[in-house]
Amino acid sequence: MSRLIHFLILFLAFIWSASAQVSAINNPAGSVANGATITITWSYTPQPNPLPGTLSVIDNTTKNTVIISSTINLSSQSYSWTVNVPAGTYYLALNDGSGDKYSRTFTVIQ
């Protein structure tokens, strides 16, 4: 039993250390027009064999989530997005395999 627990602890530590590390998401300052193309950037510490990230936009009021892309190359540290959500206040979420990292809020105008 002790060997099994030791193995599980080592396995979980390996999984945790192998996950990508996104530390900050930068979003546009001020208002963004619906239909505009913006560049989203983030800070990233490279990890061996990273999984692709999932980038989402979340309505700050309703918490409705729209997945922008589920195949983000995290090491690129940027993604061009053509804004396609209704007017409102939003924030971005980038999941790097270890949980969501969030941006500050920004406003989308028509």
Instruction: Among 44-48, 64-68, 93-97, name the one with the lowest average pLDDT.
Output: 44-48
The CA radius of gyration of the chain, in Å to the nearest whole number, is 17
Structural domain count of the chain:
1
In a domain, 8, yes or no: no
In a domain, 88, yes or no: yes
In a domain, 53, yes or no: yes
In a domain, 2, yes or no: no
Residue type, 18: A
In a domain, 82, yes or no: yes
pLDDT tens by residue, 25-36: 888 788 999 999
Domain residues for 65?
Answer: 20-109
Angle at alpha carbon of residue 53, lines to 90 and 67, rounded to 5°: 40
Q: Identify the CATH number of the domain in which residue 25 sits.
A: 2.60.40.10
pTM (2 d.p.): 0.78
